[in-house]
Structure 1
């Protein structure tokens, strides 16, 4: 996700009064039937996913999730409303997630301990896992791919490959030993220009594919991560699939063309890309063509592993919202029904193109006393599946819609 766009002007503070659209009730449609049983899933082998990386931190800092005003376990709630896969990001040593809070002995978040707990909670409620390894201590996305502090003094590509392999392998072995092996692993997050280049010292291996022909170096690093996943999965009960992830569909062909040839990266399973309307020029109705083209060109599964759409232009706190009016698509207003309808149509587009999944980014990032580097609360509360009282609303219904596969 393009989180660090906070620093480069992508944030928009939109002050518009909240609409009066209603809170979701269990079951399909908008009428309250009082049932606690969601409709049967009709998506077949199509994966419905949700990135829940902030949930533990939100719960620790005063956030509350509700269903029809009753407090609910968010992991249970997402599972009941049709989430097949919970996605969690992993940072190498994110000390800043503890130091942003006052006092001492605060826990870190999105480190291995937190992610282990989150995976355990998600699997308890029947969800599979997508582990999104950033290979950074902080956000990795198209605007920055910072080197983990522990690796900054590495000067040899071979030494860096060993570090990536060992870190990836040890992480997955730790999870597998506890019965928590992920069903999917991402080698990097939105790696449009590569990995670990933003704050690279002079003697650090060159890995920026947008600034110099460093595809071979970047490819060797990615292959080290892939090798580690394959090695652990070969001794696991879980046949883990590997995802490579690029931001925005217009960047996919260029990147995979180069990475699968000059980079020599071919042993992966899924092409993953982010689709965000403020930052992509590809219209919604052309997503199916792109998905089909990617699948045909590279003979891989294709998933949208990050997407979102606003249900309001209002805000619940003083933390500026990332999605403003520029996120809106004609015919899909910033209402709960508009969000649901956009996500239904996006899902149809992915299915029509032969894609195999859609993962919504941080649909549970409600406002709370949670802190980031840039604010307290949420910059995403107008894109969640919860109203400002924490009640799940009708936007989430797209997961249970009755889709027809071609």
Structure 2
């Protein structure tokens, strides 16, 4: 009887272990990355927003995204953010918690450093308030230690991101005015400090440098030619692609995007990735077709240098965020546009 009980316990432990290992699936890092930036998700949930599948059943948002073929989550991190519902949060602690949650269900992780207390993009690259009066030498240390600190906290929690962005949409530089492209040598030093911090934590993490308007070859050539002249260190060229913001339909410039992806990969011998994309939430068919075309263009980059496509805030419903380029309906259900990610 005792032997039977002992054997039963062993078997139970074995099956429990197998079940747990299955629940915490390890992502396939060689697969094409299909994902979403979901920085708003914790706040949406905290304010009571509910997510539903197409059959009306309430479901976890990350599971809904996985059901539509996504395997990657991108998370922004701000230095000392406010508690503003839509333009705050995304602190180190919140980012770590969200990354752990996503990885537990088998998602791959990308971390996007804005080096600001709120949004950084082509129109604004504001220094964090705590860094406001720092000298350039101090800013170099700020970038290094902030990057290292966040990544070490992730590592302690069991998460090592596959990709890290040093800066967010930086065609004009970052940490203005010191890191402006008007002084590219200083920008290069800041980017390299971020790169060095990432590689100190884990050499396998791929560092991304990210610009907007992925269809604009001239912008990308100018920036990355200067990056090359100033010895900027990075692994991946990241692009945003939003036909809406340049007041066009994707059919007018999807070929330009494809050509630019191929050009960047060949010209600089780098991998390329669409780290932000989005379409109008009410134009589901058009957004579906745009996403399918973008995914096809990235997959077609020679030598498998096209790494993936990330939708920006697919779950960020306009009724909650006021943002019109999510892929979520007013009834709390995902748009059919996201079905584009299901394609093999």
TM-score (structure 1 length as normaliser): 0.72
1:59 corresponds in structure 2 to: 45
Equivalent in 77, 95, 102 of residue 64 of structure 2: 77
Q: Which runs of 5+ in 1 are unaligned?
A: 1-43, 101-107, 201-205, 313-333, 369-376
- The separation in 2 between residues aligned to 1:113 and 1:309, in whole angstroms, is 30
The 5 Å alignment of 1:339-354 reads 339-354=287-302
Alignment of 1:207 with 2:179, yes or no, is yes
Secondary structure, in 3 states, of the residue corresponding to 2:240?
strand
Secondary structure, in 3 states, of the residue corresponding to 2:164?
strand
Alignment of 1:167 with 2:167, yes or no, is no
CA shift digits 1:307-356 (9 cap, x unpaired): 111241xxxxxxxxxxxxxxxxxxxxx2x222212211121122223422
Q: Is the 8 A contact 2:166 2:207 kept in 1?
A: yes
Q: Which runs of 5+ in 2 are unaligned?
A: 1-29
Q: Is the 8 A contact 2:69 2:343 kept in 1?
A: no
Q: Is the 8 A contact 2:278 2:325 kept in 1?
A: yes
Displacement of 1:170:
1.0
Q: Is the 8 A contact 1:86 1:129 kept in 2?
A: yes
- The separation in 2 between residues aligned to 1:220 and 1:187, in whole angstroms, is 12
Q: Is the 8 A contact 2:281 2:328 kept in 1?
A: no
2:330 corresponds in structure 1 to: 388
Change (3 A) 1:288 1:220: same
2:3 corresponds in structure 1 to: none
Secondary structure, in 3 states, of the residue corresponding to 2:244?
coil
1:317 corresponds in structure 2 to: none
Displacement of 1:367:
4.3
Alignment of 1:361 with 2:327, yes or no, is no
The 5 Å alignment of 1:7-406 reads 45-67=31-53, 68-97=55-84, 109-155=89-135, 157-197=136-176, 200=177, 206-209=178-181, 212=182, 214-234=183-203, 239-249=204-214, 250=216, 251-261=219-229, 263-265=230-232, 267-280=233-246, 283-312=253-282, 334=283, 336-354=284-302, 355-367=306-318, 377-380=320-323, 382-402=324-344
From the two aligned structures, give the one with the greater helix fraction.
2
Change (3 A) 1:98 1:390: closer
Q: Is the 8 A contact 1:187 1:244 kept in 2?
A: yes
- The separation in 2 between residues aligned to 1:99 and 1:339, in whole angstroms, is 23
Q: Is the 8 A contact 1:75 1:121 kept in 2?
A: no
Query: Which one is further off, 76-85 or 180-189?
Result: 76-85
1:5 corresponds in structure 2 to: none
Displacement of 1:80:
2.4
Secondary structure, in 3 states, of the residue corresponding to 1:70?
coil
Displacement of 1:127:
0.5
CA shift digits 1:266-323 (9 cap, x unpaired): x3111001111134477112322111111000000011111111241xxxxxxxxxxx
- The separation in 1 between residues aligned to 2:238 and 2:286, in whole angstroms, is 25
Displacement of 1:182:
1.1
Secondary structure, in 3 states, of the residue corresponding to 1:140?
coil
Q: Is the 8 A contact 1:79 1:125 kept in 2?
A: no
- The separation in 1 between residues aligned to 2:39 and 2:281, in whole angstroms, is 21
Displacement of 1:75:
1.3
TM-score (structure 2 length as normaliser): 0.84
Cα RMSD, aligned residues only: 2.1
Higher relative contact order, chain-length normalized (CA < 8 Å, sep 6+): 1
Displacement of 1:62:
2.0
